Amino acid sequence: MKLSCTFLLGALLLLSACSQPVSIVPEPVKLTLSSGHYTLDSNTTLVFLNVAEDDEIRYYTQDFIFRHLGLSLAISNEQQPNWDTLQIPDAIVFQKNTDENELFGDEGYSLSVSDKTVYIEANTNAGFVYALQTLYQLAPSDVTAKKPASIPLRTATVVDYPRFGWRGNLLDVSRHFFDVEYIKKHLDVLAMYKINKFHWHLTDDHGWRIEIAKYPKLTEIGAWRVDRSTVPWLEGEPPQEGEPATYGGYYTKEQIREIVAYAAQRNIEVIPEIEIPGHCSEILASYPEFACDTFNYYVQIGPYWPPKAIMCGGNDDVIQFFKDIVDEIVELFPSKYIHIGGDEAVKDNWVACAKCQQRIKNLKLANEEELQSWMIREVEKHIHQYGKRIIGWDEILEGGVSSNATIMFWRGWLGDSVIIKAAERGNEIIMTPTNYCYIDYYQADPATEKQKAIGGFLPLQKVYSFDPAYESFPESAIPFIKGGQANLWAEFLFAPENVEYMLLPRLLALSEGLWSPKANKDWEYFVNKLPAQKKRLAALGYNYCDKVALITDEPKQAPAADTEELKTE
């Protein structure tokens, strides 16, 4: 009886696999489907060619297949170096190129699924990781790890590599804190859609989230705010005298290392962001001596606009503070970049501060914007000593910036000229304009959305239309456009399911804009792929928005987007 049930289940899966349209996101460079299938089951072995015996890609692959498809596959010791003479039936073969295939670059791969075997070729482990993601999407979309049996994989050949090297997502963990378990789940879904940069917004007015040994008050005080989680974000009252600060949290160094390693296995580079010189109420609540004034700063609750807290630019201890933070951060993050913020620093306190004004005078700076630039350059020099580079929000251009800095362009309303000028100076640019990339905006009519958002309107179709290399850019600017990123600020994201709802499926739309060749993008085709993707996401336990909103759906009463007034990040 048991046997016949298993057989029936297998037959049903096979029937459904062959009748289901294949849905791969992001769309590969080249995909050729045929009508057969390869049966993945517990007899399938994993073969790694030109891969060291202790290379962790072996264990990552086993773990991936177990977690997504429920099968524990053995690794065969087959080490035949020449595929032409090799026949390994019933195997998934991973062959690392000894002569680099230029087309594949650092992240590309080819994948061939025949009815007898699966063959994957790549220059790097990153290519293997992405081939696995594509292979998983050739399985029926409702397969889960709980139903291990024989899994029919659609026969296909794929050649695939990315259009842009920077395919990012920012997650704000200051406005709301998300624990290690969720961050890992978040990284998993980024990897599924071939996103390779996780921009971790670790510090802001509403909470400091990273353990720093030299400044323990950052996490003793700065990581905690009074609990206003039972009232809507916009209605939180300031703390009362003596009220305990109980809401928040932070990541220990050990947890950070664990997450960075977890991300690296998935070809994701983690870029930490430490805000300089504004968005720092939580620092000033912990170390009031770094302020220009004697105001009683506290870790912010709810709305805080304009964010007036700013680190004193005339105080040498402040510069040393940031250098000390860098010293501890570089130990944790192998990433080439440290993000130093630089956005929305309201400089009223600097205008009124004798120390700041004295610094401006001594250094013969023109104004407070140049004081910010000077501060950032001081920290940048320190970061360079570690062989790393800075990224800053586009405000860092305002008082002058070195050509080594990477600019993260976010103010969509500024127009192209700012970006073009930065490219002319030689700055790398990452495109995260509000009007295509701010996925904290509403994705459907606010009147019908249960999930509150910061405002704005960014429907799925608009994200899908995003191309970081704007047609209006001159040819000469294009090489400086490194890619793009979806930013998820967390004011209204109280729990992981809120994060997932805002992220999915807009992340899928973004991923096609950053990975797939422009010529392969097709909105109607993408929409047809979504039901299978949603099934897959549901099988993996993710929440998502089920509406497919169009650009033309913009409600008449949509909260104003793309204006400076709207922003509360």
Name the residues annotated as catalytic: 204, 279, 344
What is d(CA 319, CA 378) in angstroms, rounded to the nearest whole number?
7
Cβ 485 to ligand ACM shortest distance, Å: 11
Considering CB distances under 5 to 8 angstroms, the limit depending on partner class, which of ligand ACM, Zn ion, none binds residue 393? ligand ACM
CA angle 320-323-328, nearest 5°?
A: 130
282 near ligand ACM (CB under 6 A)? no
312 near Zn ion (CB under 5 A)? yes
- Phi then psi for residue 230, to 5 deg, are -95, -5
Tokens linked to 295? 């105001």
3-state secondary structure 429-453: EEECCHHHHECCCECCCCCCCCCCC
Non-local (6+) Cβ contacts of 490 within 8 A are 171, 172, 173, 174, 175, 176, 178, 440, 499
Cβ 343 to ligand ACM shortest distance, Å: 4
277 near Zn ion (CB under 5 A)? no
Considering CB distances under 5 to 8 angstroms, the limit depending on partner class, which of Zn ion, ligand ACM, none binds residue 356? Zn ion
Cβ neighbours around 403 below 10 Å, total: 10
Residue reference for tokens 């378990």: 181
Going from the C-alpha of 485 to that of each of 166, 287, 369, 454, 546, the distances in angstroms are: 8, 33, 26, 18, 22
168 near Zn ion (CB under 5 A)? no
Considering CB distances under 5 to 8 angstroms, the limit depending on partner class, which of ligand ACM, Zn ion, none binds residue 355? Zn ion
Confirm if 317 and 289 have CB atoms less than 8 A apart.
yes
Confirm if 532 and 135 have CB atoms less than 8 A apart.
no
Residue reference for tokens 């000894």: 98
Considering CB distances under 5 to 8 angstroms, the limit depending on partner class, which of Zn ion, ligand ACM, none binds residue 204? none
Q: What is the DSSP letter of 477?
A: G
Tokens linked to 202? 């670790």
436 near ligand ACM (CB under 6 A)? no
172 near ligand ACM (CB under 6 A)? no
Question: Is the Cβ of residue 107 or residue 343 nearer to ligand ACM in the bound state?
Answer: 343
Confirm if 156 and 85 have CB atoms less than 8 A apart.
no
Alpha-helix residue ranges (DSSP H) falling in 205-339: 217-220, 253-265, 281-286, 316-332
Residue reference for tokens 């009124």: 352
Q: Total number of residues binding Zn ion (CB under 5 A)?
A: 6
Question: Is the Cβ of residue 129 or residue 353 nearer to Zn ion in the bound state?
Answer: 353
Torsion of CA 39, 42, 48, 53, to 10 degrees: 170
440 near ligand ACM (CB under 6 A)? no
Cβ 321 to Zn ion shortest distance, Å: 13
Among 470, 488, 489, 490, smallest CA distance to 480 is for 470
Cβ neighbours around 398 below 10 Å, total: 16
455 near Zn ion (CB under 5 A)? no
Cβ 299 to Zn ion shortest distance, Å: 21
Residues 325-354 that bind Zn ion (CB under 5 A): 353
Among 126, 193, 77, 90, smallest CA distance to 500 is for 193
The stretch near Zn ion (CB under 5 A) out of 27-35, 196-204, 286-294, 366-374 is 286-294
569 near ligand ACM (CB under 6 A)? yes
428 near ligand ACM (CB under 6 A)? no
Question: Is the Cβ of residue 128 or residue 489 nearer to ligand ACM in the bound state?
Answer: 489
Tell me which residue has its CB nearest to ligand ACM.
Answer: 569
Considering CB distances under 5 to 8 angstroms, the limit depending on partner class, which of Zn ion, ligand ACM, none binds residue 457? none
Cβ 565 to ligand ACM shortest distance, Å: 13
318 near Zn ion (CB under 5 A)? no
356 near Zn ion (CB under 5 A)? yes
Cβ 176 to ligand ACM shortest distance, Å: 16
283 near Zn ion (CB under 5 A)? no
Q: Which of 140, 314, 342, 392 binds Zn ion (CB under 5 A)?
A: 314
Considering CB distances under 5 to 8 angstroms, the limit depending on partner class, which of ligand ACM, Zn ion, none binds residue 353? Zn ion
Residues 361-420 that bind ligand ACM (CB under 6 A): 393, 410
Going from the C-alpha of 344 to that of each of 139, 396, 534, 546, the distances in angstroms are: 46, 10, 37, 34
What is d(CA 111, CA 120) in angstroms, rounded to the nearest whole number?
5
What is d(CA 542, CA 181) in angstroms, rounded to the nearest whole number?
13
Cβ 295 to Zn ion shortest distance, Å: 12
Q: Which of 107, 172, 343, 491 binds ligand ACM (CB under 6 A)?
A: 343
441 near ligand ACM (CB under 6 A)? no
Question: Is the Cβ of residue 382 or residue 411 nearer to ligand ACM in the bound state?
Answer: 411
CA angle 486-554-344, nearest 5°?
A: 45
Q: Which of 202, 245, 270, 292 binds Zn ion (CB under 5 A)?
A: 292
107 near ligand ACM (CB under 6 A)? no
Site residues for Zn ion per CB under 5 A = 292, 312, 314, 353, 355-356
Site residues for ligand ACM per CB under 6 A = 343-344, 393, 410, 567, 569
